[in-house]
Amino acid sequence: MSIAPTLQRFLDQNVTYEVIQHEPTMSSTRTAEICHISGDRVAKGIVLRRDGGYLLAVLPASHRIHLQDLRTQLDDTVELATEDEIAQLFRDCERGAVPAVGECYGLEVIVDDSIDMQPDVYIEGGDHTTLIHVDRGQFAHLNLEARHGRFSAHA
């Protein structure tokens, strides 16, 4: 597989990016290791259930989400979505390879402040062998409508 078609159309219309192929990995942390990239610069997307809808939380691969901090910031209840729910939202992506871009999938997005501080960002391409590389400005452009906050910490 390559970049998920929904994601690729969105990227092509909105930013300049580089595609990096790598050997198959099953986690964003492992992807960072195999590509010799700091886990602070690899964005992972975590799908959360919220008020009958979904929210995509974007944070560094090197971090763990703190759901209670996120609940406090949103003043709302959020829970992890199931794998089946995620598969329905990201139909053109392989299971476990959620791109950290939600707008093209119709999702509200919240970005952890720590990923915004990186000079450039790497995003899963929708499979387990493709990374998308963008600079900080391009990443910000991909997340123009996103909320921002602090809801993660180094693992």
Q: What angle do CA 9, 95, 2 make, to 5 degrees?
A: 40
Q: From the centroid of its chain, how far is CA 49?
A: 15
Asked if 108 contacts 48 with a C-beta cutoff of 8 angstroms, the reply is no
What's the pLDDT score for residue 153?
93
pLDDT tens string 124-141: 999 999 999 999 999 999
What's the pLDDT score for residue 1?
54
What's the pLDDT score for residue 2?
84
Q: 131: which strand partners?
A: 20, 124
**Statement: residue 73 has pLDDT above 70:** yes
Among 112, 113, 109, CA closest to 101:
109
What's the pLDDT score for residue 126?
96
pTM: 0.95
- pLDDT above 90 covers what percent of the chain? 94
What's the pLDDT score for residue 51?
86
Average pLDDT over residues 95-108: 95
pLDDT tens string 137-154: 999 999 999 999 999 999
Torsion angle of C-alpha atoms 86, 133, 66, 71, degrees rounded to 10: -70
Domain covering 5-154, topology: YbaK protein (3.90.960)
**Statement: residue 74 has pLDDT above 60:** yes
- Per-position DSSP letters for 80-146, written without gaps between them: EPPHHHHHHHTTTS-TT---S--GGGT-EEEEEHHHHTSSEEEEE-SSSSEEEEEEHHHHHHHTTT-
